[in-house]
Every structure is written in structure tokens, then in C-alpha cells.
Structure 1
């Protein structure tokens, strides 16, 4: 990962380059930024620049042995720590290192929900546990294999509970030539004992211009649509990519039509839709269900009189307004979201998509057409 690969953040890049040129690299730094701003790829690019064997004034060379290994995230002196879902087979972060590397290679701009979708999370809570803290101490106690500086990048240190205090000594007095970079989103959730031992580097959200340029050049979106999506994303590139994916997969059209089928009690059409949805593949099915959940939550804002807070493209906004006025109610939305969240959970666990989407379709008919809302194991009729 080179600085040239990072979207926007020119001020942050200049600051980080300056710390290397002036030889004032703090051994423990906290990159604090909103989600989707690129703090994680920026941290990786910074580490690569520090260890580059032939760096320039503005970037790593991208061609030396160190850079080539950094580009694949396999450098022996580059270590990662991140929240994961512990189980009998997964004790520390390196147990899911291949999944982590694959995620970075596909797109280094992701959040916890996207990371969770790559793992078998079940009902577990993500955390960075005591075993992981001990593993970090063990790894960093060894001398560097190849690079001048060993680097540990910890993504979302907010998930360190009190166990994180085990890292205090090594953060405050690390082995020679060791760099800690903590990449966080919420300063208030970080242990104060760790926070006090790091140098804060604030990374702002991306500008609308940065996201617009990215969407036009990388995602092939038209100027008008790119400007609309950048406004809706509000500096979050992950959100901008989600909007693009929803358009390319026509999630808005499919979901609105699905709701209309439920309202019209069109069982034969729903069976045909089930066949279509089953052919999408697991990730697209999950994206469709996530879109539906987000769409319905935006509808709830319309029903609550908070239309100015709604973040939907104009074409989709018109559909949401019509459905909110003529079809949906707050109890309906709550019931529908509950059904979609359950469906998403089961898709993650490889449920049969034909059976699952048919079942959810029938639930839509109950909730929308017949206004039958779940209440525990009973149903109430309006």
C-alpha cells in the first residue's frame, strides 16, 4: 500500500512524511478517524514508507523486496491485530490472518460489519482478548527479521477491554525499533491507560470532492450520480461504495418490487422472485437484505417527520416517500426489519436460499397485506 493509493487525506500524508524526514516517529501513535476515511490503509502506507529500501520524497518505491511483501501483507515484520470472534479453533487474530489479508487485498476500506461477514461469527461478540494481547507481546519481543522497524497495526482498539492493560508496558517501553499504530474510530471507548501512552493523529473524513472523483474514476459513475452519492455518504467511502453496489445490483428496484408483491399478496410473483434471489450468490443476497434493512430504517425517519435526515438517492427517496405514506407504519417497519435481520443471519450460515426467501416473502404478506405483526410467539391483528 503506497500513499498514492490512498484517497484524499493530503494533509495527513504530508504530516506523516514529515515525521519520517525529520526522524521524529513516535513509537506509539493513535490514528483517529471516522469510518470510511481511510485510516487503516494510511497506517499501512506509512509503515511501508518507513521500511522502504528506496523511498522517495513523497512515497515508498513499491518495487524493493520490503515493498513487494508489504503490498501482499506478508512482510514478517508487519503484524496486525483486530477484533475477531473467538471459538474453539480461533484463539488469536493470526488464526484468521488469511481472511484478513484477503479482505485487505479486495478493498482496504471496510468496517466491522463487512469484516464480520467474512467470518463465522455466530452470536459471538467481537473483541481483542487476553490471548491476543499475550500473542502481541510474544511477537514483538523477537528481533526484526528483515526490516529496520517492526510494526504492529491494531485496528479498532476500542475492542480491547481491561485485558488491554497487559499491553501497557510494551507500549510505553517497547523493544528497540518497534512501532505501534492504533487505528480507532471512537476515542471515548479506548482504555484511558492506553490513550495516554499514544500520540494522537487526527484524520478527517473525506471531502465530497475526494469521493466524487473516486466514484467517477474508479467506479465509473456519472458526474451527477457521483456528486449525489458523495453528498449522501458524508465523507464515508464505505457508504459511497454501498450506494454504488446497490445501484449496480438494482437492490432498490428489487426491494421496492418485493414490498409491492407482499402488499398485493402476489404469491406466484414471489415464488418467481425467490428463484431470482437464489441465483445471486451469498454475498449479493446479504447485500440485498442489508439494503432492505437500511431502506426501511430510512422510511422510519420519514414517518417520524425527520425527512431532512434521510440519506437516499432522489429516485429511491420518491419510492420511500410513497411507501411510507400509503403502505408502511412504524410497527410494520419494526417487524419487517426483524424478519430481514433473521434472514441475513441464516444466509450467513448457509441456509437454503430458496426456502429462506420464500419464507420471508410469506412473512412480508402477513405483515404488509394482513397487518399481522409478531409479538413473541403470538400474532396480533390490527
Structure 2
């Protein structure tokens, strides 16, 4: 994995390389940014850069991401086959992880959950993982250089794991570099945040996405331009737009159904709607709520009749032509607050049927506000 495989992000790349050139590389870095901006590819490319000693064997191991001094930590779930006392660790799912990352480093939590075979559970990083890291990093580097620990989504650590990791960061083993890849840094312990050097990774520029779509996917310049605008800085969203029958199509159908049933005040049908959405995995539910927020915002902006402010597919815009007038100055903020509350509740394992039925009933009232 090299920096050439990272979409855009030349500014963040240069900042990382400058730390090495100036011999100011900290023992703990945290790359923060929105989903799809390329934090994980950037982290892995930098890890490979640090571990590449120029020998053919090192290059071969890094190409397969099988270098003995490269350690991955990621959220896991507890399988029924695991013993009652067993705390799941990354090594339990190493084969699944390796297969996923070798297909490409731009992926979502939903894809990782699917790879583990458990879409309806909450994935976390357990205390067992921190114990495992202590053991691995206490060993000498097999190649005589750095040992690199890439931690994907450290905000999903439970409190016991976070406290143990804090101690490890405070007293790091020699020549060890931690690279955290974080989407919600506010959920991390303040004591951990204060002990890492944070680098904010911005959304990918439209130009970089356009160029990558043309070069890597062989699509026309016009299509690349349209998809780049819709992707809004996310390579994952850009890839989604290329997929026929992508998840966004389902999400749009669910959004349209909600608004039509709420407008018609069909309570029984709204209950069925909420049950259908509750049947999805929690990660997917949260993604739909994020989509709900985006679509509501786009419909509000559609009212201003300025195409530069609107980022919708043709299907989304076709619906907005008649629906946008129902999203206005009086209800945009209450709708936004309601959706953010639902995201929080789903994240805290609230009953999905109750959360989504309540949201549906509130939409009946909010759509009447003009």
C-alpha cells in the first residue's frame, strides 16, 4: 500500500512525511475526518512508508499487508461459538479483516459487519484487545525498525479498553507508533485525545474524485463530474453512485414512503414502515437517518432554486420538485433535531420500532408547519 493509492489528501500526506523528515514523529497520531475521506488508506500508506526498509522481502510483505510489525486493531463482535469468558479481539477475525482490506481500504462499518457475519450487533473494541496489544508491542521489532499499530475507530473502545490503551500510550514500547483512525473523536477519553497528535483529514476535493473516477473506473468526464458533486468528498459515496441498485436507492424509497404516509396520516402503514426499518441492522439504521438528514437539507435548499446549492440524484430531484415546499424555515430545525436524537437513541440500543414509529408520528405534525 502506497500513497499513490490514496484518493487526493496530498496536504495530509505531506504533513505526515514532514514529521518524519524533521524527526518530529510523535508516538501517537490520530487521523480524524468524515467517512469516505480516506483516513484508513492514508494511515495504512503511512504505516507502510514507516516500515519499508527498502528490502524486497519488506516490500513483498507490505504489498500483502502481512508485515509482522504492522498490527491492526478494529471493532469486533462476540460470536455464539465463543466462550462466556472470552473477550473478542481483532485476531479472532484476522482472516475476514485481511480479505476485506485487500479488496480495498475504502469501506464502511456495515461492510465490516457483513464480513464478520453479524449485521445486527454493535461492534466494539474490548479490553481483551488492549491486553493483546500490550503483548504484541512488547516484543522487539522483527525487522529492526518501527512497530506500527493502526487502530480503526478507537471511539468504539469500551471504557476498560480505553483506560488500558491510555496507559500504553503514556508509556509506549520503544520505536512504536500508534496511528488512530477516528470519525467521532469527541467520544474518546479526553486523556487519550490530549496525548495524541491530531491531524484533521478533509473531505476529498471534487477534482480528485473526478480524476480518480476517470482513471480508476474509466467513466466519462461528464459522469465523473456529476458523481463527484453527489459524493460530497467521500470516495465511498462515489463508488456507491456507480453501483446499480445501490443502498441509496433503498434509502430514497424509505424516505419517500415516510413522507407520503405521514402527509396522508396513515398511522397503520407508518407502523409497518417503522417495523421494516427496525428490521435493518443498527449500522444501516444510522446510515438511513444520516441519509434522512441529507435529503431533508437538500429539499430545504431546493426551495431557493439555486442548483449550485443542491446535491441530488435525478430521482431525488424528481421527488423534491413536489415535496420540497413542505420543508421550510419553521420545521427544518425541529426535523433535524428529531433525526439527531433518533441517531443517538439507535446508537444506545434503543428499540428500533419505537424510535422509528415515534419519528414517523412526529413527521405528521411537522409537515403541517408552514
Question: Aligned with 1:205: secondary structure?
Answer: coil
- In structure 2, do the counterparts of structure 1 residues 168 and 299 end up closer, same or farther at CA, with 3 Å as the change threshold? closer
SS class of match (1:86): coil
Deviations 1:278-310 (A, max 9, x none): xxxxxxxx9xx99x9699948973997564687
Q: Does residue 29 of structure 2 align to residue 37 of structure 1?
A: no
SS at match of 1:104: helix
Contact in 2 for aligned 1:82/1:156 (Cα 8 Å) = yes
Compared CA separation, residues 252 and 294, structure 1 to 2 (3 A)? farther
SS at match of 2:217: coil
User: Where do residues 365-376 of structure 1 align in structure 2 (5 Å cutoff)?
Assistant: none
Does 2:133 align with 1:159? no
Match of 1:320 in 2: 319
Q: Does 1:9 align with 2:9?
A: yes
Counterparts of 1:294 and 1:189, CA distance in 2: 19
* 2:136 equivalent among 139, 142, 145: 139
Structure 2 counterparts to residues 346-361 of structure 1, below 5 A: none
1:161-197 Cα offsets, whole Å, 9 max, x none, are 2111011221111111111111101221111121111
Give structure 2 stretches of 5+ with no counterpart: 83-87, 258-280, 304-308, 325-359, 362-370
Structure 1 Cα separation of the partners of residues 33 and 298 of structure 2: 32
RMSD: 3.3
TM-score if structure 1 supplies the norm length? 0.67
Q: Given that residues 302 and 324 in structure 1 are in contact (C-alpha distance below 8 angstroms), is that contact kept between their aligned partners in structure 2? A: no
Residue aligning to 1:177? 175
**Distance in structure 2 (CA, Å) of the matches to 1:174 and 1:182:** 14
Which residue in 1 is equivalent to 2:71?
79
Larger RCO, structures 1/2 (Cα 8 Å, 6+ apart): 2
- SS of aligned partner of 1:231: helix
Between 185-194 and 300-309, report the one with greater CA deviation. Answer: 300-309
CA contact (8 A) 1:157 1:184 kept: yes
In 1: Cα distance, 2:17 partner to 2:297 partner: 46
**Number of residue-to-residue matches in the alignment:** 287
Give the counterpart of 1:301 among 293, 296, 300: 296
- Asked whether the equivalents of residues 30 and 198 of structure 2 are also in contact (C-alpha less than 8 Å), the reply is yes
Please tell me whether residue 225 in structure 1 is matched to residue 220 in structure 2.
no
Alpha-carbon distance in structure 1 between the residues aligned to 2:230 and 2:97: 28
Equivalent residue, structure 1, for 2:53: 53
After superposition, the C-alpha distances for 1:248-302 in whole angstroms (9 at most, x for unaligned) are x79959x98xx99xxxxxxxxxxxxxxxxxxxxxxxxx9xx99x96999489739
More displaced 10-residue stretch of structure 1: 294-303 or 86-95: 294-303
Within-5 A mapping of 1:97-246? 97-121=94-118, 123-163=120-160, 164-246=162-244
Partners of 2:12 and 2:294 in 1: CA distance = 37
Other structure's SS at 2:243 match: helix
Return 5+ residue gaps in structure 1 as ranges. 55-62, 261-285, 326-373, 376-382
Task: Decide whether the 8 Å contact of 2:210 with 2:228 is kept in 1.
Answer: yes
Instruction: Give 1:141 deviation, angstroms.
Output: 1.3
Q: Secondary structure at the match of 1:246?
A: coil
CA change 1:81–1:211 in 2 (3 A) is same
Bigger Cα Rg: 1
Preserved contact between residue 128 and residue 159 of structure 1 (Cα < 8 Å)? yes
**Local SS of the residue matching 1:79:** strand
Q: Secondary structure at the match of 1:125?
A: coil
